[in-house]
Amino acid sequence: MSESLNPSASPSAPTPGEAAAGTSSAAAETGTVSSVHAPASAAAGIPDDLRAASFERQRRLRQEPRFPGGPAIDPAGSHHERRIRSFQPRRSRVTPGQEDALLRLWPKWGLDIDGQRVLDLPELFDGLPAVLEIGFGMGEATAQMAADDPGTGILAVDVHTPGQGNLLGLADRNGLSNIRVANGDAIILLREMLKPDSLDGLRVYFPDPWPKKRHHKRRLIQPEFLDLVAQRLKPGAVIHCATDWEPYAEQMLEVLTAHPLFENTLADGGYAPRPAFRPLTRFEGQGLDKGHVVHDLLFARR
């Protein structure tokens, strides 16, 4: 690739569950949001930051996109029942570079998960086999995997706007035409917008561990989720999970092992070594330096 995808490490290491690309608390790049939408009026004497916050709340209530032609706030809207979600959208600042990428590239490589259409993955990726990645953080690992394997299309799903812009920018600067960025709920994508036996793989790297017991129901890797995934994966396709949260790793191993349509690719039925194709990210490396243990799980669709 023409651009380094491994920025220098920051001085502090993450806490467990924040190790790498797909974590819901991956660090966002800092910056300022340029005034794509300026408040219609400004009350005299009100600080700029308070006016901007008020305008942002009003814009979200109106369901207006953050950027013209860019990712929608709630793409599925009222078309689908509300359920317990495994993710929690975060509002973070978008750098000028990320904003530029969203404005230029979202119409080309982005899509909203609205549940109103069925995707033709061979058409979307010009006949390439397609894998789904749920949660990509700032997109550095995703871009690296796309560069290392140009013969595979990656449909990368996240709700983090700075990460969406960052990944689009990386794809553009490095000539990666095998990435598509999806905005919204991956469950709706799997259930409503993907055909049976259409995926050649699924990647779930460092999902939110929801460590409190009362929040365990929010964890993504559950039997019901695997039922849905099994319908969308081709026979032999692999679901690859990774986490640095030991209790979540144990739950993943338990539910995957118990599912009749998945088989551990490891003969001993345990965790897998990190495959060479999964990049070691900045935050994962910092966590390893502090003694965090990362568990990879590789299960094939029977």
User: Of residues 112, 208, 244, 268, which has the active-site annotation?
Assistant: 208
Q: What is the value of pTM for the model shown?
A: 0.77
Q: What is the mean pLDDT of the chain?
A: 83
Cα 175 to Cα 1, 16, 239, 278, 280: the distances in Å are: 8, 33, 27, 20, 22
| Sign of CA pseudo-dihedral 232, 236, 237, 240 | positive
Lowest mean pLDDT segment, chosen from 28-42, 87-101, 210-224: 28-42
Judged against a pLDDT cut of 60, whether residue 27 lies above it is answered with no
Distance of CA 258 to the CA centre of its chain: 26
3-class secondary-structure state, position 254: helix
pLDDT reported for residue 253: 99
Judged against a pLDDT cut of 60, whether residue 16 lies above it is answered with no
Which has more confidence, 135 or 51?
Answer: 135
pLDDT reported for residue 85: 57
For 42-82, what is each residue's pLDDT tens digit? 445 666 655 555 544 554 544 555 667 778 877 876 444 54
| Sign of CA pseudo-dihedral 116, 122, 128, 131 | positive
Contact assessment for residue 115 and residue 76, using Cβ atoms and an 8 Å cutoff: yes
pLDDT band at 281 (very low <50, low <70, confident <90, very high): confident
* Cβ-Cβ contacts under 8 Å for 16 (sequence gap 6 or more): 209, 244, 245, 246, 287, 292
pLDDT band at 215 (very low <50, low <70, confident <90, very high): confident
Contact assessment for residue 119 and residue 47, using Cβ atoms and an 8 Å cutoff: no
- Mean pLDDT of all residues in 219-240: 98
Domains of the chain from N-terminus onward: 95-301 (3.40.50.150)
| Residue 120 annotated to the active site | no
pLDDT reported for residue 78: 45
- Mean pLDDT of all residues in 31-48: 46
